[in-house]
Amino acid sequence: MKPKFDVISIGDTTEDIFMELEEETKVLKDKKGTKYLGLVFAEKIAVTKVTDVLAVGNAANVAVGSSRLGLKTALYTMLGDDDAGKEMAQVLQREGVAKDYIVFDKKRKSNLSVVLNYKAERTILVHHEKREYSLPKLAASRWLYFTSLGQGHGKLHTQIPRYVKRHKVKLAFNPGSHQLAEGVRKLLPILNVTTVLFVNKEEAQTLVGKEKDIKRLLAKLRELGPDVAVITDGPKGSFASNGVHTHFLPIFPAPLVERTGAGDSYGMGFVAALAHGKTVSEAMRWGTVNSAFVIGKIGAREGLLKKGEMAKILKNHPRFRSKRVV
């Protein structure tokens, strides 16, 4: 029987309020080189622009982006039973995301993030309500995309592997900060059934140690269970390994407005390519191009490409391809 969905994503959904800071804002650096956003204490801080974006967050971005790239998509998320939650559900449905597994939390409000944007870099103030997650009875899907959740997601560590094995689903895993903080031991049930793991370089080192060599870092990630390990390294590009070959692809040249959603759009573009039957090296192109157009807009959703747009861009840039890392 043909699966009902191509991709079901699992994770939190939030409202993002973007605030563009004045050019006079300072960036301070301590002795270790850590940078801090310098705002005068106990003063009113002027912002030049405010943008409110509903129904975003890692899983929501993946759901919307997958729908735009021609896949039948659903999302398991818990929204607050408030006006913001109801509006977010409507946004998702308008984007073609099935409402089957959108759940309203009767006890708590919707999640909220305030994004302070300064010179294209963002500092995010995040508030995630504690939820009581439990995987609903999901229909069969070709892919599951598991990503950032707040507290209360412990049950999913056994429910997701059970679902993956029962339905022979391919799993993409992009752990959020709460999940990474739990450590490798708690993540192993998920990692053992993961098809593609997405992390940035710092997250990779958090999982397997301070390895500098990118090929060894990818190999150590694959030893945890994933068939394919992908490391994104910001403006330096991305790396992917399937255990046979390691590929590198630089970023796609594009104007930078702010970076929110760059990782989500990469991972989602990558998985969408695989779902359309593409190779890992071609999936890197999809992910990189998708990410480039997201960072050219404010918010994580505005720049997400449609399938026809993706095809046209890739056709017009035939030389933009990954190289094998020897």
Residues 149-176 have pLDDT tens digits of: 888 888 999 999 999 999 999 999 999 8
Q: What is the pLDDT of residue 89?
A: 97
pLDDT band at 145 (very low <50, low <70, confident <90, very high): very high
Is 46 or 293 the better-scoring residue by pLDDT? 293
Region 304-314: what's the mean pLDDT?
A: 96
Report pTM: 0.92
**pLDDT tens-place string over residues 217-254:** 999 999 999 999 999 998 999 999 999 999 999 999 98
Closest CA to 273 of 97, 75, 98, 69: 69
Q: What is the pLDDT of residue 121?
A: 83
Token pair in block for residue 268:
């989602």
**Do 281 and 321 touch, CB atoms closer than 8 A?**
yes
Strands (E), the chain: 5-10, 14-21, 26-29, 35-38, 47-56, 73-80, 97-98, 102-105, 111-118, 121-127, 141-146, 170-173, 196-200, 228-232, 238-241, 246-249, 323-324
Total residue count of the chain as it appears in this document: 326
Region 105-114: what's the mean pLDDT?
A: 94
**Do 165 and 193 touch, CB atoms closer than 8 A?**
yes
**pLDDT tens-place string over residues 190-225:** 999 999 999 999 999 999 998 889 999 999 999 999
